[in-house]
Chain A
C-alpha cells in the first residue's frame, strides 16, 4: 500500500501505535469493568458498560488503521488538505469524559 516512506522519524507509524495503546487501555479497562461491576451492584446488566467499551475499543483500532492509511494516501498525493481531521479525536474525548462521569456515579453509588 505504501510505496514511499514519508518521514524517517516514522511519525505516522508512531501515531498509529499511540492509537493502539489507547484502544488497548480501553479494552483492558472494559474487561475489568465487566468482571467487577455486576458483582458490586448484584445485577448482570452492569456488564453493559464493559461491552460498550470493548465495542468502542475495536472501533478505535479499526479507525486508527483507516486514519493511518488516509495519512499515507494524503502524503503520497501531496494533498495536505485531505489529511484526517479531528472527528475521531472528538469521539475519544467525549467517550473518555463519559467514562469518567460513569466512574463518578459508580464510586458514589457503591459507597452509599
Chain B
C-alpha cells in the first residue's frame, strides 16, 4: 500500500483508554488522515469502539490490516509493542508506537533495526513535549536565558486514576509501575528540555516489594554542554506532589508544570521571590486531545512527505536505558509505618 499524496490510511491497534480518549478524538481533527481499522483481541470492545467512532472496519488480529493501510498506531500493552511494531514495519507499514516504546533497551534496538531495514518511520508517542509550557521551557533553557544550568528538580505525583482496561501498569514488572508509566514522560521531557541525550543514573529508591513500584525517587546526572549536571526526580501514583519541573541556572530558576499548561514561572536572580510569569500569546495545543492531534499530524507528515519532526525511537533509547537502570539497580525505600513489626508474626502465637 502506498500512501496517496493527500491522505494516510491508518489502523489503530489496541482499543484501550488511550485510543478511546485520545487517538480517536484527535484523528477527527485531521483532514488528511482516515482511520480505516481498529484492532483489538476483545471483539466486543473493538466493535463497540468502531461503532462509536464510526470506523469502517474492525479486526481482531492486527495482521488483517496488512496491505490495507499505510500506517499503524500501536497502542497495546507495552509488552507487545516490540513484537507488533516489528511485524508491521516488516510488512511495510509506518509505525507510531505509544510510550513506553518497549520494555527493554534490547527490544527498542530491534525495533530501530526493523525500521531501518524496512525504510519505514518509527515514531514514539511523547505528547508531553507538545504542550505550550514544555515548548517555551525548552526554548528558554536552550536560549541561555538561565545561564549555566547547575541543577534540576522534577516532581510528578497524583492518585492514579487512569481508566485502564488491562492491568498491565500494575502487573508487568518491566513495563508497569510509576517509572515506566510516568517516568518515561518525565525523563524524556528533562533530556529534551536540556537538549542532552546523555544521562547517568546516580541512585534510585522505590517502594517496590516484589510487584511494581508506586513511588520512586531518582537522582541522576545529565550532561549539559559537557558539564555534569545533577538533579532529582520524584514520582508517585499514590500522592499529590508538586507537579513541576524546576531548572536552576546561574541567572535564575525556571518552573514549568510537568503535565503541561499555559503558565511558566521565571525566578530571576535579582528577585528570586517574585517570579516573572510567562503566558502564551498564541496558544498551541490547548488540551491533551489537541496535543495528540499535533502528534498524529507530525506522523502523517512523515508518511506523506518523509519528514522527521516526530519523536524518534533513538531519542526514546536514553529514557528507556534510565528506566532499565532504575529497575535493575533500585533500592527499596524503608518506611517505618510499613516495616514496623514485620517479624514473622505467628512465631509462638499459632495453635499448639
Indicate, yes or no, whether A interacts with B.
no
Q: B interface vs A, CB < 8 Å?
A: none
Q: Measuring CB to CB, which residues of chain A are less than 8 angstroms from any residue of chain B? A: none
